[in-house]
Amino acid sequence: MDKQAFRKLSYGVYVVTSWGDGGKPTGCTANSAMQVTSDPAAVAVSINHDNYTNECIKNTQRFAINILGENSDPGIIGTFGFKSGKDNEKFNNNPTIKDYLPIVEGSIAYITCKVTKTLETETHTVFLGEVTGAEVTNPNDTPMTYAYYHNVIKGTSPKNAPTFIED
């Protein structure tokens, strides 16, 4: 199997948010978001069993996809993608809440969802979400692609990302 072929799949860069213990806003960086249907609108994300975000989505049955732009602070990706919300506060102030979900400041759009189905794989849960709200908050930035993150920002992906490939 030539795993380099997986690198030819295209993605964006997102922060999937939800609520943790004690009503703490939290979430993780994810590239694995896709629109599944348009009417009714539905999206899906794939979240590792070991990620705190996974249990938060299971507990609340809600998640938001916060879409990052090329000019979003790359520090957001680090905060949400390389630490666990289990023992870290990922939001440094009270976030804006939309449709019961915390929104990441500096994202360019968000899509809020209610879980309708889950699919368990060996390592990840695929959450299917019925879209309950969506808004473009910064129309002037271009959505960041996963390729841009790797090639321009020179970012990496940790083991829990579904797209992780050991070098």
Ligand X SMILES: Cc1cc2nc3c(=O)[nH]c(=O)nc-3n(C[C@H](O)[C@H](O)[C@H](O)COP(=O)(O)O)c2cc1C
77 part of the interface to ligand X, by CB under 6 A: yes
Q: Provide the total of helices (H) and of strands (E) in the chain, helices listed first.
A: 3, 9
Is 30 or 113 the residue whose CB approaches ligand X more closely? Answer: 30
Looking at beta carbons, which residue is closest to ligand X? 81
- Per-residue contact flags (x/-) with ligand X for residues 121 to 150, judged by CB under 6 A: ----------------------------x-
Interface stretch with ligand X, choices 1-9, 34-42, 62-70, 79-87 (CB under 6 A): 79-87
CB 68 within 8 A of CB 14: yes
Exposed (0-12), middle (13-18) or buried (19+): which is 87, by Cβ within 10 Å? exposed
What is the side-by-side strand order in the sheet with 25-30? 25-30, 14-19, 62-67, 109-120, 124-136, 41-48, 33-38
**Shortest reach from residue 159's CB to ligand X, in Å:** 8
Positions that interact with ligand X (CB under 6 A):
13, 26, 28-32, 46-48, 51-53, 77, 80-86, 149, 157-158, 160-162
